[in-house]
Homo-oligomer: A and B are copies of this chain.
Amino acid sequence: MTIQFTAFRWVPSFAQGWVRDLRIRWALEEAGLPYEVILVDGETQNYRDWQPFGQVPAYRDDEVEMFESGAIVLRLAAMSEKLAPRTEAGLARVSTWIFAALNSIEPQAQTLVQLDGFYAGQAWTEGRRPSAQANLDARLTSLSNALGDKDYLEGRFTAGDILMATVLRELEECGALKKFPNLDAYRARCLARRAFAKALEDQLQTFRENEPA
């Protein structure tokens, strides 16, 4: 099985270490599957025919061609016991947590993070902050209760943790996890895995190698 996915050749420093091919790299390193990275700039029509939004990652293997980091990680989860149990029930749970990370947590996380980042200093952000904080806290409270004292969402590490940990990682700077010690420890536990460190270093190395003159 030849696995290929796309990553950006270079991005500005604020985005380095945060581009979403990181999730695919992490999953592939956990699974121990060989892969090739295709570097792109995202804006050619040729690439848009593969990834309509001009984003990374896009993915192909011998059987499928697809995009969206959640869909790709779910595809990989079906290939490796390292990423999900080999049962219908186990794969369904992993699918559930991948969607929960991307649709029930990430939008609320991004809303708050963008107030301090992309939109920092704009007059409207202070008015928005209380509701953004409350919405995020409500979701994190539910997630914290669901995790309880387990090491991982399903007891064992799965691809669902890859998505959830990369979403919780977005909250490191704003301190939103301080109120939820079990989530903060869970985030740290996931990100301490050797496969994550390798994935992150590989993304950063690409940007170092392709730094514009």
On chain B, the residues within 8 Å of A192 by CB distance are none
The 0/1 profile, CB within 8 Å of B marked 1, for residues 94-105 of chain A is: 011011101110
Q: What range describes how many residues of A lie at the interface?
A: 35 or more
Residue ID in chain B nearest A103 by CB atoms: B102
**CB of A134 to closest CB in B, whole Å:** 12
Contact B48 A63 (CB under 8 A): no
Distance between Cα atoms of A48 and B143 in the complex (Å): 11
Judge whether A92 is part of the interface by a CB distance below 8 angstroms: yes
- CB of A95 within 8 A of CB of B119, answer no
Name the contact of A142 in the complex, choosing from B54, B124, B131 (C-beta under 8 A): B54
Interface string of A37-68 (1 = CB under 8 A from B): 00000000000100011110000000111111
> Is there a chain B Cβ closer than 8 Å to A89's Cβ?
yes
Q: Among B63, B107, B131, point to the contact of A110 (Cβ < 8 A).
A: B107
CB contacts under 8 Å to B, within A65-107, are 65-71, 74-75, 88-89, 92-93, 95-96, 98-100, 102-104, 106-107
Contacts of A48 in B (CB 8 A): 142, 145
Q: Does B68 contact A96, Cβ atoms closer than 8 Å?
A: yes
A95 x B75 contact (CB < 8 A): yes
With both chains docked as a complex, state the minimum distance between the C-beta of A72 and any C-beta of chain B, in angstroms: 8
A189 at the interface (CB under 8 A from B): no
Complex: chain B residue closest to A125, CB-CB: B124
Contact A67 B126 (CB under 8 A): no
Q: Are A96 and B63 in contact (CB under 8 A)?
A: no
Asked if A146 is an interface residue, CB under 8 A from chain B, the answer is yes
Q: How far is the CA of A7 from the CA of B52 in the complex (A)?
A: 34
Decide: B103 and A66 in contact? CB cutoff 8 A.
Answer: no
